[in-house]
Every structure is written in C-alpha cells, then in structure tokens.
A and B are shown apart, each in its own frame.
Chain A
C-alpha cells in the first residue's frame, strides 16, 4: 500500500479498532447496558429508534445551520472591521477576547427569558459560540500585509479599499476556511447544549430525556449522530477549502 493510501485509511482503521476493543471490553467484563452500552447495542438502538433519532437530528442540524449562517455573516463583518482598522482592532479585540472567555452555556437561561423555549436560544447559542474564530481569522488575514506590497500599491494611488479587496480578502480566505472548520463543530456544541435545557426537540433534548429514563443506548446513539453530523460538515468545509485556496496548501501535495 502506498503511503498516501495508508494515510487515507488510517482514521477508519483506528475507528474500527476502537469499536472492537470497546465491544470486547463491554462483553468481557459483562458491563450492563444501563451503564455503558457496547457499540453493537448502540447500533441496534440507532436502527430501532431510527425515525425518532432522525427527527431530532434534523432539528439539531437546521438549527445549527441557521446559527452558523448567522455567525458567518456577523463574524465576517466584525473581522473585516477589526482587521481593516488599527483603531477598531485596539478597541474591540480585548473586549471580544473577554466575551469569548465566557461559557456560552451560561447564556442559555438568559436567552430563554428573552426568547422562550425552542429555536431562539439554540440558534443564538450556536451563533455566540462560533462567530469568534471566524472574526479572529478574518482579522488576522487582513492585518498581515507585507509593507513592500503596500508601498507598491500605494504609489499607484491605491485606496484602502483596493488594497483590502485585491490583497487583504484573498489573503484572508485560507484563514476564513480554517475558521469555518472550527466554527461548525463549535456550532453543533452550542445547539446541543442549549437544547439540553431549553428545547423540546433536538438531539440535546433527546440526550436529556434518554438519560433521565436510563436509556443509555439511545443517549449514546444521539451522541454518535451529532458527532457524525459535525464530522460531515467539517469534511465538507475542508473539501471546499482545498478546492478554492489550493495555493495556500501547496506544501502538502508538492507544488
């Protein structure tokens, strides 16, 4: 097998290995399904409760996508503002870092007071938790401009806007895609956390209700589904990144 193919299959091989070890441990020690279900039990639950899980998963998925879309728009605009002006950078960066340090789960009760139980808090939690990496990455991409290149363009009469559009934005694109990969997984975390306390639908709600009725198989099945969705979206953005900003990854396939 070539090195490339080996690298390609490595994560799947590891996954299978982990599942086998898990299964063997559960069977070998006779662990009760109410404590820690084996992969086979989780798979069985996934099939058995398929329609129920799918309905909750779909809810979590679209709520996350709405929150994520919001954070792309707001995150990009904020990043543009912060990255294009030194004053804005100085003024906003410390505040934003402070905000980012707050646990977003703590916002959920407040959001419930404002928006009630349901979609509102989930969308906003997904947004709050995922816009920061986008903003930081766009701002960094815009702020790192070689002084020589700026001179070359300024002497031609380039305005700030020209430099931003011709150089800053394209330069920020790899950072932007990298941040999307981080942000989408965070957005799923935000939605799930919010659904756990403030919703009657979604994977978060499913986890809580399954847990409280000791249906550990179902709870784990929910976890598997939310993990799979986040991975799938991550891979999607990784793929888009490869297609659109190949120039930034030239080292990886021998340019």
Chain B
C-alpha cells in the first residue's frame, strides 16, 4: 500500500491568488511506498517547500487530496519530523535538551516526560551518538560547528520516532565535505530505521545518492516534470558518486531542469580564452 499519496493536488497560498488562478504547485500526483526515500529536486522557487507543507498537513490543498498512511491529511501530522537548512536550535538549551524538545510537546511523550525523563535522556544520547555527536550532548548549539548543528537538528526531527522525515535543503548551508559526511549519516539512519524520507534539495548528486525515487519539479508554477527511479544498489558508498552510471543519471535529471547553458560559439569562445 502507498504510504504517501498526492492525487491531483493544487495549492494557491490565499484566496486572492486562487481567484487569479496562480498556484504555487499544480496538479501533483505521486505515490510513495512505505519506507521509500524520495527526493524532490528543482530550481529555487519551484514550490518544493510548498510540497513539504502539504505533506505535513501544515497547508491544506486548494484542490485534490493528500493521503498519508491511507487517511486524508486534515491537520498537522504528528508522525512527521522536519529539519531545515537553518538548524534553528535554541541557544539556551544544550544539544541534548534541544533534541528532546519535541518530546515535551508531542503526545504521548508529553504527559510522561517529567516522570520518564531519565529514559528519554538516555534515548536522546543514543541518537546523538549514532550521528557522531557523542560527547557533545551537554554543549550548547553555538559551541558546535555548522555540520554538527545540522546533525543535532536531524536528531531533533527523529527523536519521537516519526514515520516520515521531511528535510528541506538540510545540507544546503554546509561545505561540500561536511555535506557528503551527512549524506552517509542520513543514509545509515534510513537504512537502520526504515522511515519514509522526503528530501527537498537542489543538489542533484545528493538526490541521486540518497533517494530511491527522484522527482523533478519545474519552476513556477510548480509541476512535476519527471520521475526517475534510482536503481543503484544499496548500500551506496561515496565512491559511487564518481562512477559513470551515477553521473549519467545526474546528467539526465539535469536536462529536465532546463537547458544547460552551452558554451558560446566557437569563435567568441576562442577569443575569450585568448584574452
């Protein structure tokens, strides 16, 4: 059975835009299997983040239906965890206390939080250790590097064991090496816990490396223009990203996004080189 299903979903952000027929996303139909890792790629302003709001129930579609776990999404979905490009950790809480924040809010953990605090802290520490933040639990976020903050942010999204993890360009602000390191951490978390992931990104390599299925969206209006199943075997290692089959897939997806700018005609190109 499909875990997430979008059936001809359209969304305009307000009534005014709806009246003008200006939609942020148009006619989105897709189906995601349980445990599937989906990546959505596209240029900025293509409605990727809108897609996330629809999938979490923070926004209701103007037209069409969103089904998660067989039920129509009618309000915020507590079985999801979210992480964004900015880690948005709270500076007055330690890393561990930041990770535990969702448990202070979401039921059923909320009502048992005080009584079971030791148990939850143990769980938080384990999760932080699993992403390589062992020893940093009691540090404050501003004492951590950007990559570490982002790992803590992902831990915060996962602490209540969501069935679905939504990531909105989570590695966008990191340097290339840290980014690749976090790809592997996310890959391992997904392999171990088999939650659903919807990863919104503009990094095609990231999408191909991590996802089972990549959807390409076009710029406004946001439409899905291509769907590509990534058949590369798992577990995938970083070396794979330099292989021919990998780069072929990336290039194929790149062509959907828009024509790659060709170099100028040979004569002017040569002139530029000469100067």
Contacts and interface: CB of A to CB of B under 8 A. Distances in A.
A158 B105 contact: yes
A235 interface: no
Interface stretch (A72-80, A209-217, A247-255): A247-255
Interface residues of A, number: 22
Given A151-B82, A247-B142, A255-B143, A156 B102 contact: yes
A146 B168 CA distance: 15
B196 interface: no
A167 B90 contact: yes
Interface in A197-250: 245, 247-248, 250
A154 B58 CA distance: 8
B106 A156 contact: yes
Interface in B98-125: 101-102, 104-107
Contact of A157 (B78, B82, B84): B78
Q: How would you classify the secondary structure of chain A's contact residues: helix, strand, loop or mixed?
A: helix
B140 interface: yes
Given A247-B92, A247-B140, A248-B91, A157 B86 contact: no
B86 A148 contact: yes
Contact of B105 (A151, A157, A170, A250): A157
Contacts, number: 69
Interface residues of B, number: 29
B149 interface: no
A152 interface: yes
B249 to A, nearest CB: 30
A155 B57 contact: yes
A156 B160 contact: yes
A255 B77 CA distance: 37
B46 interface: no
Interface string A141-181: 00000101101111111100010001100110100000000
A17 B49 CA distance: 61
B258 interface: no
A152 B92 contact: no
Interface in B187-232: none
Given A148-B88, A157-B76, 17 more contacts: A148-B82, A151-B53, A151-B56, A152-B83, A152-B84, A152-B88, A152-B156, A153-B101, A156-B102, A157-B78, A157-B105, A166-B101, A166-B105, A170-B92, A248-B92, A250-B140, A250-B142
Q: List 8 A-B pairs, minimum CB-CB distance, nearest first.
A: A148-B84, A149-B88, A156-B106, A247-B91, A247-B92, A155-B76, A158-B105, A156-B105
7 contacts: A146-B86, A148-B86, A152-B82, A153-B102, A155-B56, A156-B160, A157-B78
